[in-house]
Chains A and B, each alone.
Chain A
Amino acid sequence: MSDPTLLVLASLAEGDKHGYAMMLDIEAFAGVKLGPGTLYGAITRLEQEGWIRPVASTDRRRPYTITPEGRGHLQNQLAGLQQVLKTGLSRLKHA
């Protein structure tokens, strides 16, 4: 699972985070070290899709929050992945 948009959504599902916090969180839970260019490419795309939105802040480090549409999209994606995971593990067990 290395799709940056999915990783960002998964990170924001826990709560609002700014860019650097997302990078650390994603590295911690997925072991993927996203570069700033890749991260902000994903943020741009997610914001365009309406799956995340920025939260008002006085700090330069603007936090983002996941929208209900984003949460739904994440759920769909994870359900698909879960099915793949379940099938794969089951087949490995019986192989």
Chain B
Amino acid sequence: MNQLATWMMRLYPTRWRKRYGDELDALLAESGADARIVADLLKGGIRMQFSTWSFPKLAVVLCLAGVLLCGGLSLLLPNEYMSRATMQITPVQISDDVTNALTLNERIQQIQQTVLSRTSLAAMVQDPRLRLYTEELKTQPLDDVIEDMRRNIGVTIVALPKRIGNRASAFDISFNYYDHYKAQQTVQRLIDRFNEENLAASGKSGQLEEQSSSIVTLDVPSLPRNPIYPNVRMLMFTGLCLGLALAAILRYTRQTPFVMASLSLGLAGAILGYGCYAANLLGTRYQSTATIEWRDGIPGQVGIVANEVLSRTALSLIVMDPHLRLYAEQLKDTPLEDVISEMRKSVGIQVVRLPHGAGIEFSFQYSDRVKAQQTVDAIMKSFVASKVRLYGDHPSPAQLLNGGTNLEVLDTPSLPVAPVKPNRYMIASAGGIAGIGIAAIASLIRRRRNPLPELPLDAVNG
């Protein structure tokens, strides 16, 4: 134990040992060493090192510790592989009108719903050739495992016709799993299921063979080599950044009075927050607006039509519009109903009283400014169509585009330039407050722990 205590003394900085080493050695010779003393020396050595290291040294050590910690963490996390295949759905005979184009897209959605249904996935999970989720099935109910599997399956439309309906659509099927062979086999099984369901759907609708859509495989299921999760590089980089930030905060708050530390860390937080905003890391949202005038319209009528526009059916048509491709990421793992609810929160229909009727202001917030503008246009058209259906106006196509016979477009959908969310000032303020908070916590810890000051150089050999 005495030898261990001597080793622990080596943890202290060299300058410190030159000054106090002999005394401490003499003390240990008198008192002897036990586990408590060794632990105390270890703690004291680390604290002394932290208090005397220069910033570069502190930063290097903490960054290294962060990288090793996160690297170790990534080794503990199970690898997850993604296999992907690309499919093409080729309708032989489709027209250019919007209805049929949606049918094409809806066909994929319908097949997807069947393939990802409980019955279908349960058959895959219990397939003795695939042997999926064997460990999970020991401890979890089948329904939970199926839900988990559903989250790991992705169906994404990857190529859409430039002009709706005149070309075929392609879509990806992917599956994430801990075993790359099984991931590949499962994607192949999903492709088979898509084909089976497509044929079944064609048969039900009574389509002739030459009129039915066919699904062909463009890219066969890949055998993934590298895991997609955990992302070791990203984790290690995160550890590096955290170590550097910790070193900076530790050193800065140690050497700087609280007020200065608060001000500067607050400023740094504000700049960081603004930087995140500027780098578009915070889910920027743009808002497009448009206004139409409904001559002789009354707010009550506008409300009824607005409810029609915000109905599930009307919004689902806009969400599923292959030209707009809204909420593509969410649709991978979120039910359509939830996506529509989210969209409903982003749509605004405001009624304004005008001298000869009502003004209706449409707005829509979205992460893509062009799509925001296009969606407002689609909402406006949906409003006009609903108004015509409910109140019997029958305008010509040209009139319809211009808002109908007694509808006039006052402002066309704007192409937003600046995002409405996040609020840059709010984020910068939050960053500032967070910085002050960090400074306060660090100062509090410093006061509580009463960390050791710089070594008294003039006292050496005192």
Q: A residues 3-60 with Cβ under 8 Å of B? A: 3, 5, 18-20, 23, 35-41, 43-45, 47-49, 53-54, 59-60
Task: Give the chain B neighbours of A60 by CB distance below 8 A.
Answer: 22-23, 25-26
The 0/1 profile, CB within 8 Å of B marked 1, for residues 53-69 of chain A is 11000011110000000
Distance in angstroms between the alpha carbons of A7 and B48 in the assembled complex? 20
By the criterion CB–CB under 8 Å, are A23 and B27 in contact? yes
A60 and B30 CA atoms in complex are apart in Å by 12
Given A20-B27, A43-B20, A60-B26, check contact A48 B40 (CB 8 Å). Answer: no
Q: How far is the CB of B37 from chain A (nearest CB, A)?
A: 6
- Chain B residues 188 to 226 lying within 8 A of chain A, measured CB to CB, are none
* Size of interface on A: residues with Cβ below 8 Å to B: 25
Which of B44, B454, B459 interacts with A40 by CB under 8 Å? B44
Tell me the minimal C-beta distance from A25 to chain B in angstroms: 13
Q: How many A-B residue pairs have CB under 8 A?
A: 82
Could you tell me the distance between the alpha carbons of A45 and B39 in the complex, rounded to whole angstroms?
A: 20
| Contacts known (A41-B47, A41-B452, A53-B462); A61 close to B41, Cβ less than 8 A | no
Q: Contacts A23-B31, A53-B462; is A44 near B20 (CB within 8 Å)?
A: yes
Contact flags B42-61 to A (C-beta < 8 A → 1, else 0): 11110110000000000000
B28 surroundings in chain A (CB, below 8 A): 36
For residue A19, which residues in chain B have a CB less than 8 angstroms away from its CB?
Answer: 23-24, 26-27
> Are B40 and A62 interface neighbours, CB within 8 A?
no
CB A14 to nearest CB in B, in angstroms, measures 19
A interface secondary structure, majority: helix
Interface centre among A20, A44, A45, A53 (most CB of B within 10 A): A44
Q: Contact between B27 and A36 (Cβ–Cβ < 8 Å)?
A: yes
Question: A52 → chain B, closest Cβ, in Å?
Answer: 10
Query: A3 to chain B: which residues have CB within 8 Å?
Result: 450
Instruction: For the complex formed, measure the closest distance between the CB of B255 and the CB atoms of chain A, giving whole angstroms.
Output: 14
In the bound complex, residues from chain B placing their C-beta under 8 Å from that of A37 are 8, 37, 40-45
Which of B22, B23, B40, B456 has most chain A Cβ within 10 Å? B23
B48-80: which residues lie under 8 A (CB-CB) from chain A? 48
User: Which chain B residue lies CB-closest to A41?
Assistant: B44
A47 touches B24 (CB 8 A): no
**Is B410 on the interface with A (CB-CB < 8 A)?**
no
| B455: interface (CB < 8 Å) | yes
Q: In the bound complex, how far is the Cα of B155 from the Cα of A95, in angstroms?
A: 72
Within 8 Å CB of B128, what residues of A? none
> What residues of A have a CB within 8 angstroms of the CB of B44 in the complex?
35-38, 40-41
Does B31 lie within 8 Å of A36, measured CB to CB?
yes
CB A46 to nearest CB in B, in angstroms, measures 10
Residues of A near B22 (CB, < 8 A) are: 60, 62
- The answer to whether B23 and A35 touch across the interface, beta carbons within 8 angstroms, is no
Q: Are A48 and B456 in contact (CB under 8 A)?
A: yes
* Cβ-neighbour of B30 out of A5, A20, A48, A53 (below 8 A): A20
Instruction: Return the contact of B41 from the options A18, A35, A49 (Cβ within 8 A).
Output: A35
When A60-B25, A61-B26 are in contact, do A36 and B462 touch as well, CB less than 8 Å? no
Instruction: For residue B159, give the distance in angstroms from its CB to the closest CB of chain A.
Output: 67
Q: Is the CB of B20 within 8 A of A40?
A: yes
Residue of A nearest to B16 (CB): A44
Interchain CA distance A20-B22 in the complex, whole Å: 13
Find chain A residues with CB under 8 A from B39 CB.
35
Q: Are B40 and A44 in contact (CB under 8 A)?
A: no
* Contact pattern, B 1-30, Cβ under 8 Å of A = 1, otherwise 0: 000000010000000100010111111101
Cα A59 to Cα B462 in complex, Å, equals: 13
Docked-complex contact A36 and B452, CB < 8 angstroms: no
A20-B31, A38-B44 given; 5 more Cβ-contact pairs under 8 Å: A35-B37, A37-B43, A38-B40, A61-B27, A61-B30
Instruction: Please report A residues at the B interface, Cβ cutoff 8 Å.
Output: 3, 5, 18-20, 23, 35-41, 43-45, 47-49, 53-54, 59-62
B residues neighboring A (CB under 8 Å): 8, 16, 20, 22-28, 30-31, 36-37, 39-45, 47-48, 450, 452-456, 459, 462
The 10 A-B pairs of least Cβ separation, nearest first, read A37-B44, A35-B40, A60-B26, A37-B40, A19-B27, A37-B41, A48-B453, A20-B30, A54-B462, A61-B26
